[in-house]
Amino acid sequence: MTAEFRRLGKRGSYRLGQLRAQGVGEATRPVPFQPHFIRRDHRWPAAVWLIALLAGSVLIAGAAALGWWFAPFIVGVLAGGANWLGAWRARIAAPAVVVMAAIGWGVPLVLAELHGQPYAAMARVIAAIVGLPASAVNGFAVTLLVAAAQAVVGYWLGRALTPGVCGSRVGRPD
């Protein structure tokens, strides 16, 4: 009986090594988590994307000055198509598109308010209509959320319309 207690917990005790012979493999160590933000087949450097996002913000701002409220959607579709070429992860590109749309619509709103146009009063009315407290900040936030929603929907549509996106990335994390 004492021999059993001495063997307890020691390697090779109770013929557990024979399990490998029966088709059960040896346990492998887990691979440590290594975060990465771009794919291995990533094709464009970050500077190209930053310039493209800045150009998208300028396009949205120019269209907002012309009264084209749908410009974030169109620029989002273009960004989704460009993502097919650049191969950035969606979890990185989608927030960048949101920031692009917010800057593209936010800068003209702030500049118009600084030049004396009554956008703050209109923003208070928008906030009150939506059911938020009548504040210019709430109205501007709703406006920027609409721009961000348009851009994200456009981005996902652009990704869906690009050739080979769905089929070529099956099994790869996005």
CA dihedral 159, 101, 58, 118 (to 10 degrees): 150
Averaged pLDDT for residues 97-109: 92
Is the pLDDT higher at 29 or at 146?
A: 146
* Whole-angstrom distance, CA of residue 174 vs CA of residue 170: 9
Indicate the pLDDT class of residue 166, thresholds 50, 70 and 90: very low
Going by C-alpha positions, the residue among 144, 131, 134, 140 that lies closest to residue 113 is: 140
User: What is the structure's pLDDT at 136?
Assistant: 82
- What is the radius of gyration, based on Cα positions, of the chain? 27
Task: Please report, for the chain, the start and end positions of each structural domain, with discontinuous segments joined by +.
Answer: 41-163
Residue 93: its pLDDT value, please? 87
Segment 30-71, tens digit of pLDDT: 777 776 655 565 567 778 888 988 999 999 999 988 889 899
CA 55 to chain centre: 19
Does the structure show a pLDDT above 60 at 6?
yes
Q: pTM for the complete prediction? A: 0.66
Alpha-carbon span 120 to 92, nearest angstrom: 32
Query: 154: pLDDT confidence band, cut at 50, 70 and 90?
Result: very high
| pLDDT of the residue at 60 | 94
Helix (H, G, I), strand (E, B) or coil at 52: helix
pLDDT computed for residue 117 by the predictor = 83
